[in-house]
Structures are given as C-alpha cells and as structure tokens.
Amino acid sequence: MENGQLLPETVLESATGSSSKLLSLLIDIKYLLKGKVLVANVLPVFTAYWLALYFNGEPFIDHLGLFLLTMAGSTLVISGALILNNWYEVDLDKKMVRTQKRPTVTGNFTLKTVLWSGIITSIMGLVMMLFTTLEAAVYSFLGWFVYVVLYTFWTKRRYTLNTVVGSVSGALTPLIGWAAIAPVYHIVPIIMFCILFIWQVPHTLAISINRLEDYTRAGVPMLPVVSGVEVAIRQNLIYIIALLPFPFFLISSFGWFFFLFATSLTIGWILLAMKGSQAKDVKKWAQTNLRYSLIYLILILIVMVILTSLS
C-alpha cells in the first residue's frame, strides 16, 4: 500500500479472491438445488405452459408477464422443496459418495441457514403462484407437499415405495404450467402427467442400481437394496413397457410423427432395459439406462414444443 492506496498486485489478488468466493458460492448453490434435478422439473412446467397457449389459441406475447411469474414461482417452489430435502437428509448425504459436495455435507452452509432458505424460498414461490391461477398454485403446493412431506420426511427412509411416491411430485409439474393458462381437463396435460409419473421410476431405479453401495451404506430402502438388483432390473423393464400406450392418445394433438417418434424412443429404451439381466457390468448398464432416460424425456418435451411451434 502506498499513500493509503492498494498496489496493483493487491487489487488483482483481491479481485481474484472475490471471484473465487463467488464461484464457490454458485457451485454450492448448484449442489444445494441439485442443478440437473431442478432443470428436469422446470422443463415440463415450461413445456406444458407453451402447449396450453397453443391448444387454447392464446398468443405467447399476450401472456409474457404470466409466463415469467409462472416460471419464477414454480422454480422457487421446486427449489424450496429440494433445499428442504437436502436439509433433512444431511445424515444420509454424509454416507454417500455422490452427495459429498453438497454444502450441507461440506459445512459451507449451516443447517439453520439451509432450513430457513428452504422455508422462505418455498413460501415466496407459493405466494407468486397464487398470482397466476388458484389451480396452478394448488398443483404447486401438492407437488411440494408430496416431495417434502410424503417422500422426504415419511417414505424415503422406510419403504421401497418411496420411488413411486416421489414420482407423483415430479409428475405434477406439467399440470402447474398448463393450469396457469387453462384448467387441466385436457388430454395433453393428463398424458404428460402419466408419462412423467411412470418415467421417473426406471430413471430412479437406474440411479439406485448405479449407486447401490451408496444407498446400502446410508441404509436407504431403495428397491435394489431391499429386493436385489435382479428384481430392480425386472421392475425397470416393466415400467418402461408401460410407457408404450401413451403416445397413441396424443395422435390427435401432435400427429402421427410424434406417435412414431415417441414409440421408437420407448422401444429403444425397452431393448436397452432387456440387456440389464445379461449385463456383465450392471453399473455401466445402469449408467447408460440413466442417460437414455434423460434423453428420452428431453426429446419428448422438445418435440412437443417444436411440433406446435411449426403448426
């Protein structure tokens, strides 16, 4: 320091340190919000909102404010649920390799801070959703309640059924987006709910098979932990097969191309699932199954948006 002023080197070091702290904070927030999980839940909200505009003959630009409010509110509600999940499951996360970077485990965020962040974020999101439509707000609350109370607090540590319970929460996301524009008694949001509900089971089974040691160490009663990997592989196949009929119900809404495209994706997933029982490296197969499930969901939702955009 010269004449009370910082030297250039000191300024540079200070700026670098501040950038590093900011980056570290953002990384912690990403792990706290389970970044990929957050995106996977917000994407159906956006898709259903877009589709509701199309099928109800409403121009997007006339509802831009409502769109921003719906996306912000639903994102906050989902984020709040994920934060509370991290707060409650810190003891489990400490025992699992894949969750070691979460700030609740590293201690970068205090549990009190995380708890209040989850509560405040949830309340803010739900209040914002009340300014969309009451129906959208109700679905937002139900999704939050199922994930936080019925899944996180009640079933995850007790029953293998936890996967199915958690799937209900994720399946409600398209209903939120659609209900912001119109009531959900339409074939499109109903089928989207069914697809997302069933999709989440093989998606989660793939994670639990791939991370079997983690869940076993933590004592979480996932299906492959309690009943064995072979049972989980069979259940995985059954749920994927159950996805086959749903594109048929959307032919009148999206046309034959969507039906053929979605059915082809499902058949491809079935063929992959059938290899599980003969796989030499079950973990590698589960990882491939997990990636396919994500590709499946993203492509289904994107094609829905593209087809309605081109109409």
With CA atoms as reference, report the closest residue to 80 among 34, 115, 121, 108. 121
Query: What is the C-alpha to C-alpha distance for residues 78 and 301, in angstroms, rounded to an integer?
Result: 19
Query: Going from the N-terminus, what domains does the chain have, and what CATH number goes with each?
Result: 27-310 (1.10.600)
Q: Is 5 helix (H, G, I), strand (E, B) or coil?
A: strand
At residue 5, φ and ψ (nearest 5 deg) are -115, 145
Q: Is 259 helix (H, G, I), strand (E, B) or coil?
A: helix
Residue 2 DSSP class: B
Are 236 and 251 a contacting pair, CB within 8 Å? no
Query: What is the C-alpha to C-alpha distance for residues 34 and 170, in angstroms, rounded to an integer?
Result: 14
Per-residue pLDDT of the chain in tens (311 residues, 90 and over written 9): 455 555 566 655 555 666 778 888 889 899 998 888 999 999 999 999 999 999 999 999 999 999 999 999 999 999 999 999 999 999 999 999 989 999 999 999 999 999 999 999 999 999 999 999 999 999 999 999 999 999 999 999 999 999 999 999 999 999 999 999 999 999 999 999 999 999 999 999 999 999 999 999 999 999 999 999 999 999 999 999 999 999 999 999 999 999 999 999 999 999 999 999 899 999 999 999 999 999 999 999 999 999 999 97
Helices 35-55, 64-88: crossing angle, 10 deg rounding: 150
In this prediction, residue 13 carries a pLDDT of 57
Q: Max Cα separation, the chain? A: 77
